[in-house]
Amino acid sequence: MTSANLLVELFVEELPPKALKKLGEAFASALADSLVAQGLADPASAVTEFASPRRLGVHVEKVLARAADRPVSTKLMPVAVGLAADGRPTPALLKRLAALGADESAVAALRREGEGKNAALFHDSIAPGVALADGLQKALEAAMAKLPIPKVMTYQLADGWSTVNFVRPVHGLVALHGAEIVPVSVLGLAAGRETQGHRFEARVSPVVVQDADRYAAQMQDDGAVIASFAARRAEIVRQLQAAAEPLGLLPVEDDALLDEVTALVERPNVLVGQFEAAFLEVPQECLILTMKANQKYFPLLDRGGRLTHRFLIVSNIRPDDASAVVGGNERVVRPRLADARFFFDQDRRKTLQSRVPGLAKVVYHNKLGSQGERVERVRAIARWVAERLDADVDLADRAALLAKADLLTDMVGEFPELQGVMGGYYARHDGEDERVAQAIADQYLVRRDETEDVSNLISEVLQIADRMETLVGIWGIGLKPTGDKDPFALRRHALSVIKSFQLLGGLCALEKRPLRLDLDELIAHSLSVFPAGALGGNVAEEVKLFVYERNANQLVPDFGAEATAAVFANMPPLHEVVKRLKAVREFAALAEAPALAAANKRVGNILKKAEGEVGAAADPARFVEAAESALFAALSDIAPRADAAFAAGDYTASLQALAALKGPVDAFFDHVMVNADDAALKANRLALLNQLHRTMNRVADLSRLAA
C-alpha cells in the first residue's frame, strides 16, 4: 500500500479568538481519529494541527491511498433456522445472504460455531479497503460536525441560493496527499491547492501549496503566516521576553491572554509602548486589567512585581517604521487609563460604610434576598468563627460588614473582576484597620500557595464565613452542582473551606493547642442564620459529604484511591486528613500491612453479620484456646501504646504499633472458631474481635487497603 503525508486546510473568515485553540485541537484530532478508524492512518502517525485567525488545518503522516482489505465475519443465524433437515438453505438464510451480496453458492462455505442448540452459521468475507477520497470525505464531515462551535453562522454560497452552517464563512479548501489533490468537497467548496496568506503582508497571493510537507514553510515564507498555533504562541513568548529583557522588566504572565492574542494574529510582532507615569497613582490591578481585557496588551512589571508605565503590544503587521503602530496604541490606551483614574477618584469620595445601606437594594438571589441580608448572615457566621479561633470578633464583624460594599463602586461596576481588591484599597483610604482591609481584599482569592501561613486571622474568618454562607444557602435552595455545571462555584468554595481548615490546623499545631473549629458545628451555625423554612432538604449532611468528597478527590492523585478511602471512611477532622494519609501511606509500606488489612476486613465482615449487640470488651476468664489469650495479651500491650500515640496526634506511630499484632491475629484465625456452638463463648470471641477492630481502625479503616 502506497502512503504519503496528508494536509487538509479550511480557509475561513476570522474565527472567534477565545475558541480558536479548542477549534484547532478538535478539528485535527477528530479528522485524524476518523482516518485511523477507517484504516487509512496508523494510530502512531504523527498529527500536527494548524490554527490561525483565518484557517484550521491538520497534517497527518503516513496516510494510505487506500486502506487494506480486511476480513469480515458476520453471524447469520442458528443452524437450525438457516438449514433444513436435508441440509438445504432455508428462505430466511438465502434472504440474509442476499442482503450481504451473496447467493446460494455461498452456503457451502459458511462456517459453523458451537454445538447443539447453540450452533450458529457465520459468513466470512473480505471487505475492500476504503479509498482515501471516500475516507477523507467522511472524516472531514465528521470532524466539522464535532467542532465545539460556540455559535453557528448561517450564510449563502456563491450560487446565491444555497445556505450552509459553520462557525464562520469558509472560502477555501486544501486537501493534498503528498503532492496530489484529494477530490473532496465541503460547504460547497471543492478541494484544491490554493490558499491565502496574511491579509496585508503575504509575499504572493494566492499561496499555491506544492505538497503536504511544504505547507508550514510555504505559509511562513510566501504567506507571511505562522500557521501552527503552538509555534505562533512560542514565538510570541520569545518576542515578549526579548522586548522586556533590555528594559530590565518582566511581562505579566497570563496564559489565557497569551492564547487569545495568539488567536488574533498570524504574524506576531511585539512592540513596546508607554503611558504617562502619573497614571501609576491608580491601583495597579485596575491598570493591568484594563490593558489586558480591553486592549490585549502585556503590562510590564519591575523585578519587585510593581507595574511600570511601559507595556507590550502584539501587532499583526511588521512595517519598516513601527512608530505609527506604537503611537496609535498609546493614544488608544490613554482614555482607558483615564477612565480607571476617574472611577478611582470618584469612588474614594464616599466611604465603604456609607455604601452598605445600598446593598439592601441589590438582589443576591430571589430565594435568598438581597446582598444586604446576605451581609448580615455572613456577619453572624464571622463572629461565631472568630470566637472559636480566638480572633478579634469586632474586626471580623467589621470586615464582614464592609466586604460587599465595593459592589456599588464605579470601578467594580466597570470591572467586576476587581471586587474585593478595590474594597481593600478603599478600606485603607477610609482609615480602616489594616487587617480589615486585607481581609476584604483577600475574600475572593481562589488559589492560595501550599506553604501559606495564617498571617491574618481576620482574612481566614471572612473567607470561611463567606464560603459557608454560600455553600449552605445555594445548596439549601436546590442549586447543587450537577455534572460539569457549577454556576455558583460551590466546588471551589468547598476547596477554600478545606484550605482554611488546613492552614488553621497548622497554626494551632505550631501553637500547641487544639483547633476549636468543627465542620459539623460550623455547618449547623451557618444554617441557623437563615430564616426558618428558607432552606429545604438535608442540607447539613449533604454539604458535609460534599466537602469531604471534594477533599478526597483532591488528594487521590497524591495518595492513591485505597489510602484515601481508608482515611475518609472515618471522616476525620479536615485539618488532620493529610497527616493521617501520610501515616497510612507509611503503614501500607510495612511487610505486615497486607495481612493486617485482610484480617481487618475479615473482622469487619464477621462483626457486621453478628446478631444482636456485640460486647465492647472480652472476658479473659472465658478463653478456651491459647490463641485467644495470646491475642488478648497482645492487644492489652499494644492498644494503650497505639491509643496514646493517636491521642498525641502521632498517627504514624499509632499505626506502626499495630504491626506486632500480625502474628497473634494470624494464629487466632488459624486456631479459633469464632462462631462456636456455645453462645457465651461466641459472644466473648466477638467482643475480642470488637476490641481488635476498634484498635486497628482509629486512624483509618485499614480494611480499605486489602486487595
Which tens digit of pLDDT belongs to each residue from 561-613? 999 999 999 999 999 999 999 999 999 998 988 888 888 888 888 888 888 78
Q: How far apart are alpha carbons 83 and 321 in whole angstroms? A: 87
Q: How far apart are alpha carbons 465 and 342 in whole angstroms? A: 33
**Amino acid symbol at 184:** V
Give the SS3 label for residue 18. helix
The pLDDT score that the predictor gives to residue 21 is 95
Residues 6+ apart with CB under 8 A from 18: 150, 259, 260, 263
- Closest C-alpha to 464, from 392, 395, 378: 378
CATH number given to 3-67+131-221: 3.30.70
How is 113-124 classified by DSSP, letter by letter? ESSGGG-EEEEE
Quote the mean pLDDT of the chain. 92
3-state helix, strand, coil in the chain (%, to 5): 55, 15, 30
Give the pLDDT band of residue 1 (cuts 50, 70, 90). low
Length of the chain: 707
**Mean pLDDT value across residues 452-462:** 86
**Amino acid symbol at 140:** L
Q: How far apart are alpha carbons 670 and 667 in whole angstroms? A: 5
For the chain, what are the domain ranges?
Answer: 3-67+131-221, 70-127, 230-347, 360-559, 577-705
Q: How far apart are alpha carbons 519 and 516 in whole angstroms? A: 10
360-559: CATH topology: Hypothetical protein af1432 (1.10.3210)
Which tens digit of pLDDT belongs to each residue from 176-214? 999 999 999 999 999 999 999 999 999 999 999 999 999
How is 422-473 classified by DSSP, letter by letter? HHHHHHHHTT--HHHHHHHHHTT-----TT---S-HHHHHHHHHHHHHHHHH
How is 191-253 classified by DSSP, letter by letter? -BSEE---TTT-SSSSEE--SGGGHHHHHHHTS-----HHHHHHHHHHHHHHHHGGGT-EEPP
Task: Say if residues 242 and 249 touch (Cβ distance below 8 Å).
Answer: no
pLDDT(46) > 80 = yes
Which tens digit of pLDDT belongs to each residue from 76-105? 888 888 888 888 888 888 898 888 888 888
Give the pLDDT band of residue 458 (cuts 50, 70, 90). very high
**Amino acid symbol at 629:** S
Q: How far apart are alpha carbons 227 and 171 in whole angstroms? A: 17
CATH number, domain 577-705, options 1.20.1050, 1.20.120, 1.10.3470, 1.10.730: 1.10.730
Residues 6+ apart with CB under 8 A from 88: none
**Can 360-559 and 577-705 be said to share one CATH topology?**
no
The pLDDT score that the predictor gives to residue 102 is 85
Which tens digit of pLDDT belongs to each residue from 650-689? 999 999 998 898 898 889 888 888 888 888 888 888 888 8
Q: Which cell numbers hold the place of 120?
A: 450458529
Give the pLDDT band of residue 403 (cuts 50, 70, 90). very high
The pLDDT score that the predictor gives to residue 448 is 54
Share of the chain above pLDDT 70, in %: 99
54: left (phi over 0), alpha (psi -120 to 50) or beta: alpha
